[in-house]
A and B are shown apart, each in its own frame.
Chain A
Amino acid sequence: MINFQYLRTTTAKSALTLLQKDKNAKFLGGGTNLIDLMKRGVTAPEKLIDINHVPLKQIELVGSKIHIGAMATNTAVAEHPLIQEKLPLLSWALNAGASAQLRNVATVGGNMMQRTRCGYFYDTEMPCNKREAGSGCGAIDGFNRMHAIFGTSDKCIAVHPSDMCIALVALDAEVVLATPKGERKILFKDFHRLAGDTPQLDNNLKADEMIVRVEVPLNNFAKNAYYLKVRDRASYAFALVSVAAGLELQGNKIVNVRLAMGGVAHKPWRLTSAEDFLKGKEATTENFEQAAKLSMTGAKGFGENDFKLTLAPNTIIEALNLAKSKA
């Protein structure tokens, strides 16, 4: 183990100051991802700034938005009555992730910042552009069963592994960041990036910024929503494909709809063309099938993940059917 310094702070402001002092410092949330990466030698921060004691654990309704503090644990969010009542999709997505033990310590900010689970990224003896720019991508011609089918680049085909983020992108969330110049807001859908030519960057958080909260507008999807996660075992496995679906129905007519997919891209993948297609239509399996088909435009497999080209539309259809039959 490489030695590092452990620092603890209780305010967001001092956290930012500490971060600015040292380029090689990192925030410590639950540590469930960061510590693993340190053990594997993927990252070696000289300083860990523990921000668990910064009072950012609020889960509250402010006007027409629900504010969720960056340091609230995944369990606290998933089990909060306000979330369960108003944003059940988020609660289900969180509970579909990791294990109870991990969720008990994992934080909202940490979950957004978690890095890909690509096996090449984790093994410092293998090539990976995300870990070491220019070393090549081990996955493109290698083991890519878990990898992306949308928005890939010839530099990196990794997926973003979070479940929580799939629900948040579907629910039009916004991210509030603390910066040296004060707060700034960014749409959740713009927070994460595609790999492009800079696979080392997962998101648009700047080196001197900190996530302080997520804001989710109230919506009418609570009644007909579903988070469907398809995985290799029934619990404690990352998604092969997951779909967050929310329907606002009038009779059988779709007044409004939100759809996002996980396990398919370098960022939480919002299905806007399917949403546009479904809006105003009847909630029928035929329409769901059409929407699923539309969603697959531009999808591309890399061999071992070709099955996702079938699994993804199937999962969209099933998630929509399950969301519809929820009422």
Chain B
Amino acid sequence: MMENRILKDENDRVDGFLKVTGGAKYFAEYELPGLTYGVLVTSTITKGKITSLNTKEAEKAPGVIAVLSHLNKPSAPAYEQEGGSPMKIFYTDKIFYNGQPIAIVVANTFERATYAASLVKATYAKEAFNTDLEKALKDTKAKKLQGQPDYKRGTENAYKTAEVKIEQEYVLPIETHNPMELHGIIADWRPANKVTVYAKTQGVKATQGTIANVFKIPIENIQVNSEFVGGGFGMALRTWPLEIATVMASKHIGKPVKLVITRMQMFTMVGNRPAAIQKVGLGATKDGKLTGITHKAFGESSTYENFTEGVVNMAKFMYQCDNVNTSYTIVPVDLGVPIWMRGPGEATGAFALESAIDELAHELDMDPLDFRIKNDPEMDQQKNKPFSSKNLKEAYKLGADKIGWSKRKNKPGSLVEGSWKTGYGVSVGVFNANRGKASVKGILKADGTLVLQSATSDIGPGTGTGMGLIASKLLNIPTSKITFELGDSSLPPAPSQGGSATLSTIGSAVNDVCVALKSTIAELAANSNMDATSKFVDVLKKNNLPSIEVTKESQSGKERDSYSMYSFSIHFVQVKVHSLTGVVKISKIVSVGDSGKIVSPKTARSQMVGGAVGGIGMALTEESILDHRYGRYINNNFADYHVPVNADVPEIEVIFIDKPDYLVNPMGAKGMGEIALIGFSAALANAVFNATGKRIRKLPITPDKILA
């Protein structure tokens, strides 16, 4: 009965029932015997040194087991050595940013740990600091680093001498991932240096490796479990200092320790999408052929670690243009180190480039869609290779029909109804069709079921659902009889879930496993004089085998050297903007995905919908606001940091081109996690311009900016 309810249709999310009924167990829900609770004490200054740390009161507080800090340096062999990253938690008295963890208090209840943490008192020697990217850019003495080698094709800054040109600056604020699930970890350090952790991670193998490195214990001693993850968006792509602190604490007290950070700490300890300032220059002939693209980006980074991402990648190949130059500079400020956030740098870059393309089309008095089609490249000019597949022209047409593009007027502010002005916008998104190396084990059983195993993760896209569908088609087994096990470091190795690569990477290994299982069954059938069409259950039974197992490692072949491989998306947005209040209401969204074969239609659609919602946040509502005088966040809670709510999200139409690209992988499927969001914010800004004639170059687009 249960099974029927869980899986109504082959394409349903395999863990959907568990997730909506509370049956899915997240890291913080594991109850270990003798579990203790950690709470972090954080710095209240932005830069300087801890001069004293008084932990006496905290240690005396009821239920407290230990207070760890740089004063007692709990054992972590890698940190005891010289050198390495300066941010060695509890091995430095240096403060790099406001909200940096400086101590952990462990007690027998969470409430007692929280209270005791409030009793820890620090004094500091303060130093001058800066948390403002704009200010750092103006300051000629402030440090700046090359984030990526400069790129040049043809003439530098060719746009400057073009017949028609634009030159503009685009600004993005800090955005914080803010998945619903708070970050943290449970660490259980046992005698003989055996460690079990329950983590919130996008990569169980990565977490395992980091712990092994820091504590210098054999990797086999470490078991990482992370079966369900309540959202990551990139922030769980690394093992953060707070996780190391928890492992240290468990090692120190010999008991399991759970740490779950607060929503406020989510803003300072687990990364963010860095603020960015970008300058784009575009030039074209009068009839709309691009003749020059210049894209210069400046991204915020930290002082203790450099962070770079692909902000200017798109400019190099997205449009047919002989003269392109890009540069990407990172600017260290006194904040926690950023980390990739969905769509990562490409989404940052696409806001600038795709807004600029719209601005140039407007200068040319051309429909921005026609302008894009006119400059759509036949091949990748950066790599000088053909695309493995690209169906953008078809995608443009399908999306334009669906949104009703023909009703759009090129002249901004043309469609007015009472106080509301209507506008249409479009933008392209693009991301590498990545594929890595992974292993999968398949166990085909005589009871008719298949178990697949891999140490991959599912932060929400529906990994198990997609893998089940791939196997189901190949082996002709209903998905209800397939189990995909993940989030366990003892399973066959797989890379972290990031860069839109999971379906391509793990799916290929699933494919190879299924193909191998099929041929083993065929061989067994032939050897036992059975018909080639015999069911595997019968073949196994006839051979007295309870099950057969195959493990396969899979990665790309040489095709990658000869082709340029990308996933593409196009976002169409219709908005209504209120002329008196500046309120922007999105009335319709059409997102088209050109990402090869769609192997899991429901979860693929959900990816695109989720990406659009993330895009609405980036475009209209999300901004982590700092008071630069103090280096502290002002809106570090869910009341004031605005993620889109249902009322902000209109009906979203998703269209897939759904054409296989077998150069990328055996399924012909490309990743979609990032393209779902990349470019969306530009489509929205372009729609606002079309509605009002107001070009907003600084996100998010809030009513005050419309009224300005």
Contact = CB atoms under 8 A, between A and B. Distances in A.
A and B found bound together: yes
Contacts of A41: 118
Contacts of B646: 235
B627 A307 contact: no
A204 to B, nearest CB: 27
Contact of B647 (A123, A138, A145, A234): A234
A317 B580 contact: yes
Contacts of A311: 581-582, 703-704, 707
Contact of B627 (A142, A234, A236, A238): A142
Interface in A38-53: 41
A286 interface: no
A234 B585 contact: yes
Nearest to A127: B630
B707 A307 contact: yes
A234 B580 contact: no
B410 interface: no
A237 interface: yes
Nearest to B62: A3
A42 B583 CA distance: 33
B134 interface: no
Contact of B115 (A2, A141, A143): A2
Contact of B703 (A3, A141, A235, A307): A307
Given A119-B634, A123-B632, A307-B707, A235 B647 contact: yes
A174 interface: no
A1 B645 contact: no
Interface in A94-138: 117, 119-120, 122-123, 125-126, 138
B448 interface: no
Given A1-B114, A314-B580, A315-B581, A145 B639 contact: no
Contact of B632 (A2, A125, A232): A125
A21 interface: no
Interface string B685-708: 000000000000000001110011
A126 B632 contact: yes
Contacts of B376: none
B630 A126 contact: yes
A315 B632 CA distance: 32
A126 B580 contact: no
A310 interface: yes
A264 B580 CA distance: 17
A240 interface: yes
B635 interface: yes
B642 interface: yes
Contacts of A234: 585, 645, 647-648
A230 interface: yes
B648 to A, nearest CB: 5
B178 interface: no
B620 interface: yes
Nearest to A230: B581
Contacts, number: 87
A71 B642 CA distance: 30
A194 to B, nearest CB: 24
A318 interface: yes
A233 interface: yes
A138 B628 CA distance: 12
B637 to A, nearest CB: 8
B645 A230 contact: no
Nearest to B43: A125
A240 B578 CA distance: 15
Contacts of B621: 232-233
A314 B582 CA distance: 10
B629 interface: yes
A119 B620 contact: no
Interface in A211-238: 228, 230, 232-238
Interface in A230-287: 230, 232-238, 240
Interface string A134-177: 00001001110100000000000000000000000000000000
A235 B645 CA distance: 7
B447 interface: no
Given A143-B627, A318-B580, A236 B702 contact: no
A3 B115 contact: yes
Contact of B639 (A117, A125, A142, A315): A117
Most chain B CB within 10 A, of A119, A228, A232, A238, is at A232
Interface in B385-431: 419
A145 B627 CA distance: 12
A120 B640 CA distance: 13
B644 interface: yes
Contacts of B581: 228, 230, 311, 314-315, 318
Given A143-B627, A143-B634, A1 B642 contact: no
A233 B644 contact: yes
B44 interface: yes
A230 B703 contact: yes
B111 interface: yes
Contacts of A117: 639-640
Interface string B570-582: 0000000010111
A238 B634 CA distance: 15
B118 A143 contact: no
Interface in A1-54: 1-3, 41
Contact of A145 (B111, B118, B585, B704): B704
B642 A143 contact: no
Contacts of A235: 645-648
Interface string B118-151: 1000000000000000000000000000000000
B645 A315 contact: no
B474 interface: no
A237 B635 CA distance: 12
B241 to A, nearest CB: 21
A19 B703 CA distance: 44
B41 to A, nearest CB: 13
A280 to B, nearest CB: 25
A233 B625 contact: no
B111 A318 contact: no
Interface string B610-634: 0000000000110001010110101
Contacts of B634: 119-120, 123, 142-143
Contact of B642 (A141, A232, A317): A232
Given A307-B703, A307-B707, A119 B580 contact: no
Nearest to B639: A117
Contacts of A141: 629
Contact of A119 (B115, B583, B635, B708): B635
Interface in B498-520: none
B111 A1 contact: yes
A224 to B, nearest CB: 18
A142 B629 contact: yes
A236 B115 contact: no
B419 A232 contact: no
A126 B647 CA distance: 34
Contacts of B585: 234
Interface in A300-327: 307, 310-311, 314-315, 317-318
A145 B704 CA distance: 9
Report, nearest first, the 5 A-B pairs whose CB atoms are least far apart: A234-B647, A307-B704, A119-B634, A314-B580, A235-B647
14 contacts: A2-B115, A41-B118, A120-B627, A123-B634, A126-B627, A232-B642, A232-B703, A233-B648, A237-B639, A237-B642, A307-B703, A311-B703, A314-B580, A314-B581
Interface of A: 1-3, 41, 117, 119-120, 122-123, 125-126, 138, 141-143, 145, 228, 230, 232-238, 240, 307, 310-311, 314-315, 317-318
Given A236-B645, A240-B703, A318-B419, 12 more contacts: A120-B634, A126-B632, A143-B627, A145-B704, A233-B621, A234-B585, A235-B648, A236-B647, A237-B642, A238-B639, A311-B704, A314-B581
Interface of B: 44, 111, 114-115, 118, 419, 578, 580-583, 585, 620-621, 625, 627, 629-630, 632, 634-635, 637, 639-640, 642, 644-648, 702-704, 707-708
